[in-house]
């Protein structure tokens, strides 16, 4: 089977590079601490301790949301973190670069930036000192904005004063609780790191596969080439060829296969509960948005005359019906990629939330250590169901990659399809 490895590698790198766009579109995740299944109760930040001291105990909703959000560092265990590169820009200050280690897990502010539960926030107050200063605890409050909407707000203490923190800027228009703030975060977050890792793994693997094709030309495939041949043939015979058509499928096969394997590898890495896995990549709506935009661009840039005609002025339909259908078809141009975005985001996020909730049964049944028997029962029940859900998640990881690829192929096929109206009318 013919595989265009150059196109595949270029497309894979392009998808990975879209990770830098994530801070601009990502959901507003002040909580930001996003470790996966096995690490959800190991954060040593002072605010968690304060919650326990005030009798709030284990908060399952907050804990789950912390762990499915993005972060500027990998949390390995209590007090053990792997820092990631930091690139921060504030219009009134300029660039601040380094690694997340310089924030000392939230105890040090650098140029007004602090690490709040794994995610960088900034003190917008100009009176706050620049350079490195030691800060106290971070307080969480729920405040009501001018529109009457409740909003999570964080304050950092410094020399017995509280300073309000700005979260990273997002271009979601406030739909996810974000908006434009005083700085922009272009850092390599967990999600970005995982996308680059997935891209590098794919490039390495498929270069090896390409070498196998050259070495075994005219012979039966062997080794890693033999393993991936099954996927190649399946995607060609069951996805690209029937959906796009014999005439055009080879042109778009590298794109469709890149989507499939990139999403699959990101999903599988997200199921690994420790470094370098644990990032909830496709459970981040910023990532699925960019993937959907790629499909939208490819589909509409390659749309044939018949495709646009069937959208703006359908042939063979009464004029008064066209007036009704045309707006619906135009809306459909945007509904299709929107459905791709939401479907992948919702299914992957739901799986992670269920797993984290099942593990949380240990702390709920054990009453935060007060009930050893309850904790043991929670461990048995939660452990068994978590093992089952992990198996389901393996299936979902592959299924969602396949669904995204096959729907993208079907949209491309509809765009490049050539209709023969004269022949149809003759019959």
The pLDDT assigned to 418 comes to 72
Angle at 255 between CA 301 and CA 234, to 5 degrees: 130
pLDDT, tens digit, 9 for 90 and up, residues 191-226: 999 999 999 999 999 898 888 888 877 777 778 888
pLDDT band at 10 (very low <50, low <70, confident <90, very high): low
Mean pLDDT of the chain: 80
The pLDDT assigned to 217 comes to 79
The pLDDT assigned to 419 comes to 64
The pLDDT assigned to 19 comes to 52
The pLDDT assigned to 268 comes to 92
Which residue is listed with tokens 């990101």? 266
Please answer whether residues 195 and 15 qualify as being in contact, where contact means their C-beta atoms are separated by less than 8 angstroms: yes
pLDDT, tens digit, 9 for 90 and up, residues 117-173: 888 999 988 889 888 999 988 888 888 877 777 788 889 999 888 999 988 887 665
Among residues 137, 177, 156, 159, which one has the least CA distance to residue 54?
137
The pLDDT assigned to 64 comes to 74
Cα distances (angstroms) measured from residue 245 to each of 101, 252, 306: 52, 10, 15
The pLDDT assigned to 321 comes to 80
pLDDT band at 52 (very low <50, low <70, confident <90, very high): very low
pLDDT band at 84 (very low <50, low <70, confident <90, very high): very high
55 against 69, higher pLDDT: 69
The pLDDT assigned to 248 comes to 86
Query: Out of 160-164, 282-286, 379-383, 398-402, which region has the weakest mean confidence (pLDDT)?
Result: 379-383
Please answer whether residues 96 and 120 qualify as being in contact, where contact means their C-beta atoms are separated by less than 8 angstroms: no
What is the C-alpha end-to-end distance of the chain, expressed in Å? 38
280 against 13, higher pLDDT: 280
The pLDDT assigned to 36 comes to 37
pLDDT, tens digit, 9 for 90 and up, residues 385-402: 888 888 888 899 999 999
State percent of the chain over pLDDT 90: 30
The pLDDT assigned to 370 comes to 66
The pLDDT assigned to 177 comes to 58
Q: Is the pTM of this model over 0.85?
A: no
Average pLDDT, integer, range 270-287: 85
Please answer whether residues 24 and 170 qualify as being in contact, where contact means their C-beta atoms are separated by less than 8 angstroms: yes
Residue 291 has pLDDT above 90, yes or no: yes
Query: Out of 16-20, 28-32, 408-412, which region has the weakest mean confidence (pLDDT)?
Result: 28-32
Sequential DSSP letters for 19-78: GGGHHHHS---SS-----GGGTT----HHHHHHHHTT----HHHHHHHHHS--SEEEEET
Among residues 356, 358, 377, which one has the least CA distance to residue 366?
377
The pLDDT assigned to 294 comes to 94
**Whole-angstrom distance, CA of residue 148 vs CA of residue 311:** 41
pLDDT band at 304 (very low <50, low <70, confident <90, very high): confident
pLDDT, tens digit, 9 for 90 and up, residues 239-270: 999 999 888 888 999 999 999 999 999 999 98
């Amino acid at each position: 089977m013919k595989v265009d490895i150059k196109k595949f590698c270029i497309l894979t790198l392009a998808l990975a590079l879209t990770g830098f766009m994530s801070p601009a579109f990502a959901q507003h995740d002040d909580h930001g601490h996003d470790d996966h299944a096995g690490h959800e109760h190991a954060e040593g930040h002072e605010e968690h301790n304060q919650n326990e001291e005030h009798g709030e105990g284990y908060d399952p909703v907050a804990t789950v949301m912390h762990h499915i959000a993005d972060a500027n560092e990998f949390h390995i265990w209590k007090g053990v973190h792997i820092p990631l590169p930091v690139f921060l820009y504030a219009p009134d200050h300029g660039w601040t670069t380094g690694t997340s280690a310089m924030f000392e897990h939230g105890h040090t502010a650098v140029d007004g930036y602090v690490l709040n539960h794994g995610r960088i926030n900034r003190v917008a107050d100009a009176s706050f000192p620049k350079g490195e200063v030691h800060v106290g605890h971070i307080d969480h409050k729920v405040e009501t904005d001018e529109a009457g909407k409740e909003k999570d707000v964080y304050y950092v203490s410094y020399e017995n004063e509280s300073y309000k923190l700005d979260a990273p800027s997002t271009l979601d228009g406030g739909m996810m609780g974000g908006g434009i703030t005083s700085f922009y975060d272009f850092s390599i977050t967990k999600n970005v790191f995982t996308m680059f890792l997935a891209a590098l793994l794919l490039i390495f693997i498929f270069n090896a596969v390409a070498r196998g094709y050259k070495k075994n030309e005219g012979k039966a495939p062997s080794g890693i080439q033999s393993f991936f041949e099954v996927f190649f043939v399946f995607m060609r015979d069951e996805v690209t060829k029937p959906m796009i058509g014999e005439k055009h499928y080879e042109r778009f096969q590298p794109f469709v296969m890149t989507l499939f394997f990139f999403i699959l590898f990101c999903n599988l890495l997200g199921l690994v509960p420790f470094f370098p896995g644990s990032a909830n990549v496709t459970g981040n709506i910023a990532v699925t948005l960019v993937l959907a935009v790629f499909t939208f661009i490819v589909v509409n840039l390659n749309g044939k005359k018949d495709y646009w005609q069937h959208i703006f002025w359908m042939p063979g339909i009464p004029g008064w019906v066209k007036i009704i259908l045309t707006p619906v078809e135009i809306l459909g141009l945007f509904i299709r990629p929107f459905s791709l975005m939401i479907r992948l985001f919702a299914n992957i996020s739901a799986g992670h939330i269920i797993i984290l909730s099942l593990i949380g049964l240990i702390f709920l049944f054990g009453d935060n250590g007060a009930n050893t028997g309850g904790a043991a029962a929670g461990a048995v029940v939660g452990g068994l169901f978590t093992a089952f859900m992990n198996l389901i998640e393996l299936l979902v990881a592959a299924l969602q990659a396949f669904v995204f690829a096959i729907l993208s192929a079907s949209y491309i096929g509809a765009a490049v399809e050539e209709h023969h109206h004269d022949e149809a009318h003759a019959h």
